[in-house]
Amino acid sequence: MPTKFWEAKAGRAFAGRLATGSDLVEEIERFCLEREITAAQVTAIGAVRRARYAYYEQGEHRYLELESDTHHEITGFVGNVSLRDDKPFLHVHATFADAGGATVGGHLRRGTEVFAAEVMIRELGDVSLARLHDEETGLALW
Ligand code: ZN
C-alpha cells in the first residue's frame, strides 16, 4: 500500500474528565458514538488502577496481550478515532509509569481502569476514515 493522506477540516473540540472506575477505551468510544464523532485526534493524561495493552507481532500478524495490575500514571496517550464496522473506533498507543518511574506500554486495550483521566478530543471534519483489513500487515487500516 502506498503512503496516503486525507485532508480534513477542524471540527468540534471536547474536553472531558472520565469517571473513576470507568474503562478508558469504552468510555471514550461511548462518548464518540453519542456525539457522532467519526474522525478525531485524542489525547489523555491521568492515572489508571490497572492497564491492559498489547504488542503486535509483525511476523505472526497477531497481538500479544500484556497487563499490569498495579497503579500507573498515564505518561503518554496518542490516539485517533475512525470508523470500524461503521462505528467510532478508538486506536491508542499509551505509556504507563509505575511508582519507580519504570514504564510499560503498547496498543491500549479494553480493561484499563481509570483512576482519573482528562481527555481532549479534536474532531476532524469533512473526512471519512474507515478501517479495512490490510493483507500485508494483517491490521485494520485506513
Ligand atoms: Zn495500535
List of domains in the chain: 13-124 (3.30.1330.80)
Reading the block at residue 124, the C-alpha cell is 476532524
- Helix, strand, coil fractions of the chain, as percent rounded to 5: 10, 60, 35
Instruction: Tell me, in angstroms, the distance from the centre of ligand 1 to residue 90's CA.
Output: 10
Instruction: Tell me, in angstroms, the distance from the centre of ligand 1 to residue 52's CA.
Output: 13
Instruction: Tell me, in angstroms, the distance from the centre of ligand 1 to residue 99's CA.
Output: 25
pLDDT at 1: 79
Residue 64 has pLDDT above 90, yes or no: yes
Instruction: Tell me, in angstroms, the distance from the centre of ligand 1 to residue 6's CA.
Output: 19
The string of DSSP letters for 52-93 reads EEEEEETTTTEEEEEEE-S-EEEEEEEEEEEEETTEEEEEEE
| pLDDT tens per residue across span 73-100 | 999 999 999 999 999 999 999 999 999 9
pLDDT at 101: 98
| pLDDT tens per residue across span 10-47 | 999 999 999 999 999 999 999 999 999 999 999 999 99
Instruction: Tell me, in angstroms, the distance from the centre of ligand 1 to residue 134's CA.
Output: 14
Q: Strand pairing partners for 107?
A: 54, 93
> Which backbone phi and psi does 124 adopt, to 5 degrees?
-105, 125
Band the pLDDT of 48: cuts 50, 70, 90: very high
CA 52 to chain centroid: 12
CA pair distance 99, 73, nearest whole angstrom: 8
Pinpoint the alpha helices (H) of the chain: 24-34
